Amino acid sequence: MHELLMNNQEIWDLFTRKEEYSPEKLDEHHRFLFSEKDLRNASEPEVSRYLIENGMQVEFPENKSFAVCLTHDVDDIYPPLSHSLLSSAYCLKQLNFQEFLAQSLWKLRGIDYSPYLNFSKIMDLEASFEAKSSFYFITAEADPVRFRYNIDDIQHHLGEVSDRGWEIGLHGGYYSYDNPEKIKKEKESLEAILGKKIIGFRNHYLRFKTPDSWEILADAGFSYDSTFGHRYSVGFRNGMCHPFIPYNLNTGKEIDILEVPLVVMDTALFSTSKSFDEAWERTRNLIDTTASLNGVITLLWHNFVFSCDFRKDWVRLYEKVLQYCSRKGAWMTSGEEIYRWWADGA
C-alpha cells in the first residue's frame, strides 16, 4: 500500500477541501469536478490516518472496532416507465411470469402495491444481520427529471420505518441545496407527516457546495449531513473515514453540524467498475481500510435497487457487505445512531 507523505498544511487543506472554495470547473449539476488525481487518492483516508497516528481514539458500542452507516435515498416509490420496461424485459427473458406481472400490473391494484414500496423488505434483510439504516425521503415538488412522489401517500410506511427504529431523514430537493427557505420547508413537510423532528440529511444528486451547504443545513436545524462524498468514484472526499465537524475557512469557525461522509454510492461504484468482482474488491478494500482506523464507512444503496430485476447484482453486493462486516464485528447502523453516539462521546 502506498503512503502519501503530506505535511500539516496539506493535511489541513485536504480536510477543509480548500480547493472547493473557488472551483475552476463544475459539472452539469454544478457539483465540484474532481481531478483524476483526487479520485485516485480518494481510497486513502490520509487525514484520519494522521489523526489516529497522532493519538485520536475512537470507540464504538459493545467494543466494536468500526462502524458501517447504511443509508438509502428514496428517489422513487413508483417505478418510472424506463425501469418498468427494463424490469419487464428482464423477467420475460428469465421466463419469470409471476414477477413480470408484479412489475407491470401493480398500478391496477393500487399504489400500495408498487414494487418500490419495499422498506419492510430492506429492513428485514438488515435486521437479519442485526443492522439498521436510514431512509432519506423527498418532499420537494420540483425535480429536473420528473415529479417524484407525494409524501402524504405513504404516511403509514413512514410510521412503520420509524416504529421499527430505522431512521427517516430528508432527501433535499435538486433545486434546494443552495436555498435555505426551501430546505426548511421540506424539513417541515416531512416532520408534519412523521409527527416528530428529523435530524439527518442528504441532497438529491449529491448537490453540495463547500462550505455553504453545511451552514445552510446547520441553520435549518439538521444535526448531521451525509451528502459529502464522491459521485464519479468511491472513497473519502476529504481524507476522513470518521464523522467530523466541518470548518469554514471564510469565517474561521467550525460549523454546528456533524458530517458523516458518504463513501460508497451504488451507482457510482458500479458505473466505475468493470465487473461485480472489481466492485466487490474496491468496496472490501475501503471497508478494510476503515476498519483498520476504527472509522465509519457510509454506504448509499437506493431503495429501488432492491425491487429491480435488472439490479440483482447490486443487491448481491449489498448482502455480501452485510455478511462481511457482520463477521468482521462491525456496528452496522443508521446515520442517526452514529450521530447520537458521536455527539455523546465528543
Residues near Zn ion, by CB under 5 A: 73, 75, 204
Minimum gap (Å) between residue 148 Cβ and Zn ion: 9
Give whichever of 49 and 171 is closer to Zn ion, judged by the CB atom. 171
Identity of the residue, 231 or 282, whose beta carbon is nearer to Zn ion in the bound complex: 231
CB nearer to Zn ion: pick between 204 and 209: 204
CA dist list (Å): 112 to 109, 159, 208, 210: 8, 14, 33, 39
The three three-digit cell numbers of residue 257, written as one number: 453540524
Residue 19 C-alpha cell reads as 480547493
Q: What distance in Å separates the CA atoms of residue 119 and residue 306, rounded to the nearest whole number?
A: 9
Query: Please, which residue, 29 or 253, has the CB nearer to Zn ion?
Result: 29
Q: Which is nearer to Zn ion, 75 or 336 (CB)?
A: 75
For residues 255 and 211, the answer to whether their CB atoms sit within 8 Å is yes
Least distance CB 256 / Zn ion (angstroms): 25
- Which is closer to Zn ion, CB of 45 or CB of 335? 335
CB of 73 to Zn ion, least distance (A): 4
- 194: how many CB neighbours lie within 10 A of its CB? 17
Buried b (16+ CB within 10 A) or exposed e, 204-221: bbbbbbbbbbbbbbbebb
**For residues 67 and 265, which CB has a smaller minimum distance to Zn ion in the complex?**
265
Q: Which three cell numbers stand for residue 244?
A: 467530523
Give the dihedral sign, CA 121/228/288/43: positive
Q: Kindly report the CA angle at 197 between 193 and 201, in degrees rounded to 5?
A: 95
Distance in angstroms (rounded) separating the CA atoms of residues 302 and 249: 33
- Residues 118, 87: contact at Cβ < 8 Å? no
What is the chain's Cα-based Rg? Answer: 20
State the nearest-atom distance from the C-beta of 74 to Zn ion, in Å.
Answer: 8
Cα–Cα distance measured from residue 198 to residue 158, given in angstroms and rounded to the nearest whole number: 12
* Nearest-approach distance from CB 208 to Zn ion, in angstroms: 12
Q: Return d(Cα 338, Cα 8) in angstroms, integer.
A: 28
Q: Which DSSP letter does residue 224 get?
A: E
Closest separation in Å from C-beta 308 to Zn ion: 15
- Cβ of 258: how many Cβ atoms within 10 Å? 24
Residue 167 beta carbon to Zn ion: minimum distance, rounded to whole angstroms: 16
CB of 65 to Zn ion, least distance (A): 31
For residues 304 and 262, the answer to whether their CB atoms sit within 8 Å is no
**Cβ nearer to Zn ion, comparing 226 with 294:** 226
Nearest to Zn ion by Cβ — which residue?
204
